[in-house]
Amino acid sequence: MKEGIGYNGASPGPVMRFKEGENVRINVTNNLDEMTSIHWHGLILPFNQDGVPGISFPGIKPGETFTYEFSIQQAGTYWFHSHSGFQEPDGAYGAIVIEPEGREPFRYDREYVVQLTDKHPHSGDRIMRNLKMMPDYYNREQQTVGEFFSDASKNGLMNTIRDRMAWGDMRMMKADVEDLQGFTGLINGKGPEQNWTGLFEPGERIRLRFINSSAMTYFDIRIPGLDMTVVQADGNNVQPVNVDEFRIGVAETYDVIVHPKDEQAYTIFAESMGRSGYARATLAPEEGMEAAVPQLRDPARLTMADMSGMPGMDHGNMAGMDHGDMDMNSSEGMSGMDHSNMEGMDHGSMAMGKGGQSDPFYAKGSGLVPTAANGGKFLSYADLKAQDPLYEDREPTREIELRLTGNMERYTWSINGVKYEDADPIRLKYGERVRFKFVNETMMTHPMHLHGMWSILDVGADQWNPIKHTVSVQPGTTVYMETEVDAPGQWAFHCHLSYHAAAGMFRKVIVEGGPESTQAKTDVIAKDGGEV
């Protein structure tokens, strides 16, 4: 018997379908014996309907019913989840589909929600306790003796020993790609053996609404035998991009169109970024048909390029280093570095490592750069261009730097070195346009989610920069996004990896000014308390 949390007796909860422009009223009755909440991820709404206890409202007590009421201002694919404790990893999530007022700019004959998660046999509370006790508790892909001899054969014995010692001195492991392994990948609540199946008639165009509702897992998605056309990212239409594979970060959504012409089955294969697990589903003309399920590829390994954002790796100021000849895939010679207090790297212009695949949103030489299994096109953030810009392109009024920081040994995660409980809110002015600079100083990837306002991801396309609600920041990189501050009130801003947010990589944002009627009544929320 497994325990979990769901909505209306199921996990995931019901697919909530709305139409752009309508007003909705949703009654949420808490039948749990603890506080709960629902956050409408990616929806633009008044802050007091956003569902974050302690920031937007006090939360919903056991036995109480809370009524959410707001107007639907957008179209696209979104999702909802609890923002209380670890209820979301324990099953409290579902999908939102919003039909546009006008016509879609792309054609399809049928559609399916494809909602992913990383269901773990341990409860969220137990996972957090274990990670605090031993950060690599769930790491099942430690480097092996066989791998040591393989590396020694390839790189030489002494180089391999020095490499292992250097990583050991830094108290880091190349295998630190995923904090949480041992999960089962689910699609629409079904495991690989249960094989969720979507039916089609050959020749139809099918819209697949991918949602990653995982607590901690990035997935690389492909459908062998079918091309995919990406038409939407985080609910916003993008200029179509044909790809063979794409990576979906935690909390992101991507809509793709596929066009199966043959009367055969196709496997939807979602492989975790660390290659420790997968989710699997099928598109088929009839129930019961299956296609081959690919094997997991070799696990990713971090490189020194992924370490480049960590304090102490200031290559720009290190006299005497010849970076041109330096192989950042090796850690040889790095063991004596002082990691405690070196800052000031310009990660945006870094060029580390040599050879291999490249993607401007990964450090050059990173072990995490994705490649398509068939050698074809893998989606990059750089490919995303807005189809209809929501905002006029203008210069930002100011820049705010957010360094993504943490201590893996103590399993503490923070922003600018300060955990949420010790941090002051970020204060924004209504009407300004703020440029956020994310500098990832950790070895982990962080999906940063700003509530209530759009994140305009800088891919160098000016007015065509894509509009998102969640922006992934890879290790050793700097990523910029801009926000039109057009939503009064107070909002959450955090890493969407559940255990990173809970460990402190979280901020409250207060938008000052704006229409009187929507001013935040922060004293009421503070008085009533509530958790975050």
The per-residue pLDDT for 162 is: 64
Please answer whether residues 207 and 192 qualify as being in contact, where contact means their C-beta atoms are separated by less than 8 angstroms. Answer: no
Shortest CA distance to 362 belongs to which of 257, 458, 440? 440
* Residue stretches of the chain with pLDDT short of 70: 1-2, 140-148, 152, 159-172, 309-356, 516-532
H-run or E-run covering 490: strand 489-495
The per-residue pLDDT for 307 is: 75
Please answer whether residues 429 and 418 qualify as being in contact, where contact means their C-beta atoms are separated by less than 8 angstroms. Answer: no
The per-residue pLDDT for 143 is: 61
Write the pLDDT tens digit of every residue in 157-200. Answer: 776 666 666 666 555 677 778 889 999 999 999 999 999 999 99
Write the pLDDT tens digit of every residue in 301-358. Answer: 888 888 776 665 543 333 333 333 333 344 333 333 333 333 333 333 333 334 457 8
Whole-model pTM: value is 0.87
- Cα distances from 508 to residues 53, 56, 522, in angstroms, run 12, 10, 12
| Tally of CB atoms within 10 A around 263 | 13
